[in-house]
Amino acid sequence: MALSLTPALRGPSINQDSAKESDLVRELAADSPDALAAVYRLHGQTLLRLACRLTSSRQDGEDSLHDLFVGLPEAIRKFEGRGSLEGWLKRVLVRLVLMRQRAERRRREVAFDDQTPDRAASGRADESGTWDLERVMAELPEDLRAVLVLRQTEGYSHKDIAVMLGITPGASRVRLSRAIKLLRAGLRGRT
C-alpha cells in the first residue's frame, strides 16, 4: 500500500512561499515597519556578509546595508516579482555598494607629498611573516573584487554578475581572471 501525503503534511509548497513573499513585498511597498523588520530578519545576515565582502570593511558593509533598508520601502516598488526577493535584494545591494565606492573615489584627495605610503612596501609580509587573505582582497580594485566575491563566494554565474554590474558576461570573466592573478601575486608577495 502506497502512502499518500496530503498537502497539509508536506509542508509549505513553492506556491505558498511565493504568495507569502508577494504579501511581504506588498506590505513593504505600503511602508509597513513590520514588513521591513521581517525582510531584515529573513535576509539581513546574508546581505551583511555580502556587503562586508564587497567593501572589505565591516563598518562600510553595515553602512551599505543600512542605506539599503532605509531606501527599501521606495525601491521595492520596482521589484517585478521575477526571481526571488533575496536575489533582487542582493542585486540592489551590489549596485548600492558600487555607487558608494564610486562616490568615495571621487571624494578622495590625492596626497602628493613624500609621506604617501609606498604601495610596494604595503605588499610585503608583516612582522610575523604571515599573510592575510582579507587584506590582499581589500587591495584589489573594487570592480575586480566585486566580480571575485560574486562569482567565487556567492556563486553567481557570469551572466548574473553581468546584469548586476552592468557589464557583459565576457567582461565578468576577464575581471575574474585579473582578480585571481592579482590575488595570487599579492599572496606570493606576502609569503
CATH for 52: 1.10.1740.10
**Grid cell digits, residue 15:** 506556491
- The pLDDT assigned to 106 comes to 67
Contact status, residue 10 vs residue 39, Cβ threshold 8 Å:
no
Does the residue 121 lie in any domain?
Answer: no
Report the distance separating Cα 108 and Cα 149, nearest Å: 24
One domain, residues 150 and 91: no
Q: Do 79 and 156 sit in the same domain of this protein?
A: no
Looking at the fold, whether 24 and 97 belong to one and the same domain comes out as yes
d(CA 137, CA 45): 21
Instruction: Decide: 47 and 64 in contact? Cβ < 8 Å.
Output: no
Statement to judge: residues 85 and 42 lie in one domain: yes
Let me know whether 144 and 80 are in one domain: no
Do the domain assignments include residue 122? no
Instruction: Indicate whether 136 and 106 sit together in one domain.
Output: no
Is 166 found in the same domain as 84? Answer: no
* Residue 75 and residue 152 in one domain: no
Q: How far apart are CA 88 and CA 171, in angstroms?
A: 22
CATH of the domain at 185: 1.10.10.10
77-95: average pLDDT? 88
**Cβ atoms within 10 Å, residue 116:** 9
Q: How many structural domains is the chain composed of?
A: 2
- pLDDT for position 39: 94
> What is the dihedral angle through the alpha carbons of 132, 135, 140, 143, rounded to the nearest 10 degrees?
120
Whether residue 112 has pLDDT greater than 50: no
pTM of the complete model: 0.65
CA nearest to 71, candidates 49, 101, 42, 39: 39
Tell me the pLDDT tens digit for each residue of 127-147: 443 456 778 888 888 889 999
Same domain, 103 and 163: no
Pair (61, 144) in one structural domain: no
C-alpha 4/C-alpha 100 separation (Å) is 54
Same structural domain, 39 and 83: yes
> What's the Cα-to-Cα distance from 108 to each of 32, 95, 101, 111, rounded to whole Å?
38, 20, 11, 9
Q: How confident is the model at residue 158 (pLDDT cuts 50, 70, 90)?
A: very high
**Residue 82 DSSP class:** S
Distance of alpha carbon 47 from alpha carbon 41, whole angstroms: 11
Count of helix runs (H) and strand runs (E) in the chain: 10, 0
Domain hosting 71: range is 15-110
